[in-house]
Every structure is written in C-alpha cells, then in structure tokens.
C-alpha cells in the first residue's frame, strides 16, 4: 500500500485491553475514520460474517478515498482455557486472521498482533523475528497458525509479536500487583520466567504508526518495551513505584505454581527489525511502568 492521506481504520478486539488504547490513539488523528468492532459486533468464529463485514467496510473506505488499515487486536487470550478449548482458539487466533488477510490482499493493510508464545521459551538471548517457531501451548499453536495464515495471504500485512502487555483496560498482572501493593498485602511471584513488560498505550501508538506508514512494511516485527525482567522483578517494581514495601514480594518458581498451559521461561523478543524499519524506539520497561501506573493502578494510587 503506497501513498499517504486520510486513513480508514478497522479495529478488531476494540473492547479489549489493547483495543481500548488503539482507539485512544486513533481519536487524535484528524481526518481519519475509525470503525471499532468488539466481540458483540464481530464474531471471529464466523467466517461468512468476518468476510462480509470486511468487504462492506472496504467498499466504504474506498468510496471515501481513505486508505484502509485493519488493526487486528482480537484474540482468544485465555491461555489455560485454550488447552481444553483449542478448536475455538484456533478459529479466533488462527483462522480469522487468515480470513482478514485474504480479504485485504490487494485492497488494504493488515497489522496483526501476535505473541511470544509462538516460541518455546528455552532461549537465553532475545528471539529475532526469523527465529524458529515452536509453540508449547494450545494458545501458542493457534497464534502460530494465525501468523502463517497472514503470511500465506500474500498481501500488505505485518505480524507484530509482543509480550507481557498490561494496560488501563481489563485485568492484567500489573493491575493485580498494584491492588496487592495498595492493600499492603504479601505476594509470591515466579522468578524463573523472564520477559519484557509492555504498556499497551505505547504498543498501540507504535501499531498505529506502522499502520499509517506509506510504502511497504516488513512481514514480521517485534514490539515490546525495552529491557527484560522476571515476573518477580516486575512485581517488586510495582510495589516500589506505589511506595509500598517491596519486601512483601517473595520469589517462587514455576514448578510451585503448575498451570494447565506451559508458560515460556524466556519471552524476550529482539526489536532490531522494528528499529531498522525506522519506527520509534520503545522506552525502557521501568520508565513505561512509571508512566503507566497512574492509569493502570486502582483508585487510591498516591499522587507523587
């Protein structure tokens, strides 16, 4: 997709954690048109409905003279539930991105959000964009299918992998830890899983810039906040930022908290391709956390 000018945006998963921040970023773009679709407006398990909605939206975008861009932030993200509901997860995470990509091929751009769970989590260095995909969970397998479907469609599309996303909308680890910190409650957190915490608002800004960029875009990119930490280290940081006693946070191991779906021990993604594409450099995760907490934490966060 080439050229510049007003853009028509279609945001799937618009009522979710990332979707809410995408809409906030898009609200500041004068002249653009935004269509926001949540689960009630678009059933991603229904191929006929998905294709019909996209075709109708594309026709309207072209009539208006706007460049069509879909930001696919919709996903089946219940990682443990996917272990026994993989068929549904496959439709949402695997098949639906392919339907979107096929309808957009030759007509518009797709920015599809994926995950570190497509990797096996056994690395010790950040995963580059061309690292072999080897998911260990149903969630990861279905997201990998979605990546392949987007690529196979052959259109103007980018898969953007991210990890450890938290935001002001919906439940997430940072919000949970903020609640415990404000209550002065102790908590045990795993210290043997490492990743890059990513503020949804920062991620959303980057995805919109990628979507609006004229000319070709890379097929796969990684976008997280910079740096790496364990879940234990992140929890301590939340307590510290809120002025709570970080000594209340204790380390534990994954083995002590077994879950139905295996979690990657290493979720750090290499962002070199993102920078090489000329996209904005992410800020360090701790700086992003500091900026995010007034928006993410529960009421009662102390102003400082």
The two structure tokens encoding residue 1: 């997709």
Take residue 271 and report the two structure tokens written for it: 């962002």
CB 14 within 8 A of CB 23: yes
| 8 Å CB contact between 178 and 267 | no
Active centre residues (catalytic): 139
């Amino acid at each position: 997709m080439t050229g510049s000018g007003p853009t028509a945006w279609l945001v799937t998963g618009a009522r979710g954690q990332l979707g809410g921040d995408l809409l906030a970023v898009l609200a500041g773009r004068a002249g653009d048109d935004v269509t926001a679709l949540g689960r009630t407006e678009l059933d991603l398990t229904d191929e006929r409905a998905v294709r019909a909605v996209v075709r109708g939206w594309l026709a309207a975008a072209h009539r208006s003279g706007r460049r069509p861009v879909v930001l696919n932030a919709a996903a089946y993200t219940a990682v443990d539930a996917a272990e026994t509901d993989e068929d549904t997860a496959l439709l949402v995470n695997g098949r639906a991105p392919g339907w979107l990509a096929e309808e957009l091929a030759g007509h518009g751009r797709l920015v599809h959000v994926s995950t570190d769970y497509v990797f096996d989590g056994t690395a010790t260095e950040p995963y580059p964009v061309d690292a072999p995909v080897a998911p260990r969970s149903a969630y990861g397998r279905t997201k990998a299918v979605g990546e392949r479907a987007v690529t196979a469609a052959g259109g103007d599309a980018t898969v953007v992998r991210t990890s450890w996303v938290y935001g002001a909308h919906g439940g997430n680890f940072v919000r949970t830890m903020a609640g415990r910190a404000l209550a002065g409650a102790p908590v045990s957190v795993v210290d043997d899983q490492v990743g890059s915490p990513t503020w949804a608002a920062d991620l959303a800004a980057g995805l919109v810039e990628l979507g609006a960029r004229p000319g070709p875009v890379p097929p796969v990119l990684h976008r997280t906040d910079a740096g790496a930490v364990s879940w234990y280290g992140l929890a301590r940081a939340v307590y510290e930022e809120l002025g709570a006693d970080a000594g209340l946070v204790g380390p534990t191991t994954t083995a002590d908290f077994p879950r139905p779906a295996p979690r990657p021990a290493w979720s750090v993604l290499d962002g070199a391709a993102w920078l090489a594409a000329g996209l904005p450099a992410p800020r360090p995760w701790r700086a992003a956390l500091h900026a995010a907490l007034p928006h993410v934490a529960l009421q009662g966060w102390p102003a400082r």
